[in-house]
């Protein structure tokens, strides 16, 4: 019987999923392996009736450059009891599986780490290599290397935001944009930077003060007032959904937001329109201070997850897939594949990345790094002390809208 490799995809979709899966298939097929696709993410590993199918060259060649995921995904997270009682080792034995390839984000990586430990403890001769994926860009890869899918999501998000900005300019309105990203602001900042958005609000910028809805509104108004001073009566504000992760329960409740949480304990931010919520709160605040500005909400989220990958991700994902084979050939296991700027595959060991709880902490925006520093210094429009006198034409207390004072910078 041929040696086999099995592939599963966990979490939510990202551009490049099919590129990784199909490139892994092509690479291992060309080296004499059988390649099995497992539908349903990790749930298939803990089921007596897993849904599998062989991936041949023609299937891989037809899907490698498409968005979405040919292998059905799942957010299933196994419990300790699942590991002890439901892990389907027979699936591996009966198909002579030598390698489990997992594709996913931080939760999928953390579960891959648990599987690696479990297999090692049980002395099961199966290797495991994880391919890091997320449009949130929040996995701790070296040298600020992006996770696959992020660049494509940023590209589509920026395309949408450019159109939104043009609408704002054409109609003389302000459009409030909410962008996905979970607890990190990479996607929002990437969109804001690429479109010269006058204000981008991300959770990491509140590094010296407690994040509150009032501060978010004041930052937004700071940009609106600054542009009024400059004679610009339009603009966009991009707000990262991650600000919800750091808001206090009292602040959320006071704003009338009712949150639900997924099985990983993350707020289910996709169930509410953050843009609509912020727009309603902003309208109330502007009415209170007597500022007449027309605003409209726009959500950027699910529309960037399943687009076709851009050329960067097509190449990057192909290199990651070939890197999986390189690492496997060298006997590596229990690691994430990392490909550096020169195309060289390196292992990142999951046990070195985990915290005390066995989870891989998310990589957040370096608010003092060059990307964020340059954006907030040169692109962002906000009130400074030099604007106080002119700002008094719109608000009696302009110092309350001073960007650096709001953030304690």
Do the Cβ atoms of 42 and 77 come closer than 8 Å? Answer: yes
Q: For this structure, is 90 an active site residue? A: no
Which token pair is 166?
Answer: 């043009």
- How far apart CA 289 and CA 272 sit, in angstroms, is 27
Q: Is-contact 378 389, C-beta < 8 A?
A: no
E strand or H helix at 388: helix 388-391
How far CA 130 is from CA of 108, 178, 293, in Å, comes to 8, 30, 49
Distance CA 131, CA 106 (A): 11
List, in sequence order, every residue forming a beta bridge with 131; answer none if it has no partner: 103
DSSP string for residues in 200-228: EE-GGG-SSS---HHHHHHHHHHHHHHHH
CB 347 within 8 A of CB 335: yes
Q: Tell me if residue 239 falls in helix, strand or coil.
A: strand
Distance CA 171, CA 161 (A): 15
Catalytic residue (one of 3, 56, 81, 136): 136
List residues with catalytic annotation.
136
């Amino acid at each position: 019987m041929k040696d086999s490799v099995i592939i599963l995809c966990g979490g939510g979709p990202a551009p490049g999923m099919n590129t990784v899966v199909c490139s892994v298939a092509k690479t291992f097929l060309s080296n004499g392996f059988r390649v099995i696709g497992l539908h349903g993410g990790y749930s298939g590993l803990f089921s007596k009736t897993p849904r599998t199918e062989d991936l041949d060259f023609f299937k891989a060649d037809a899907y490698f450059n498409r968005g979405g995921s040919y292998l059905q995904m799942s957010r299933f997270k196994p419990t300790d009891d699942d590991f002890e009682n439901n892990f389907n080792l027979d699936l591996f034995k009966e198909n002579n599986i030598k390698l489990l390839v997992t594709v996913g984000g931080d939760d999928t990586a953390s579960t891959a780490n648990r599987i690696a430990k479990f297999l090692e403890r049980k002395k099961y001769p199966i290797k495991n290599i994880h391919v890091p994926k997320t449009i949130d860009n929040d996995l701790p890869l070296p040298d600020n290397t992006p996770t696959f899918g992020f660049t494509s999501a940023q590209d589509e998000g920026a395309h949408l935001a450019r159109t939104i900005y043009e609408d704002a300019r054409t109609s003389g309105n302000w459009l409030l944009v909410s962008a996905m990203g979970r607890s990190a602001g990479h996607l929002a900042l990437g969109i804001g930077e690429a479109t010269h958005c006058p204000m981008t609000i991300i959770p990491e910028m509140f590094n010296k003060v407690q994040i509150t809805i009032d501060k978010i509104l004041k930052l937004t108004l700071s940009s609106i007032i600054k542009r009024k001073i400059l004679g610009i009566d339009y603009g966009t504000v991009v707000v990262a959904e991650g600000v919800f992760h750091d808001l206090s329960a009292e602040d959320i409740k006071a704003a009338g937001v009712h949150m639900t949480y997924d099985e990983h304990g993350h707020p289910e931010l996709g169930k509410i329109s953050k843009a609509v919520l912020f727009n309603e709160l902003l309208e109330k605040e502007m009415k209170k201070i007597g500022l007449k500005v027309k605003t409209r909400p726009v959500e950027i989220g699910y529309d960037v997850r399943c687009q076709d990958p851009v050329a960067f991700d097509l190449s990057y994902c192909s290199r990651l897939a070939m890197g999986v084979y390189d690492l496997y050939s060298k006997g590596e296991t229990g690691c994430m594949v990392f490909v550096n700027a020169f195309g060289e595959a390196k292992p990142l060991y999951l046990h070195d990345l985990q915290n005390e709880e066995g989870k891989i902490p998310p990589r957040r925006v370096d608010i003092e790094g060059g990307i964020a520093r340059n954006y907030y210094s040169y692109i962002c429009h906000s009130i400074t002390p030099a604007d106080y006198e002119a700002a008094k034409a719109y608000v009696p207390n302009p110092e309350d809208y001073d960007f650096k004072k709001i953030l304690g910078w």
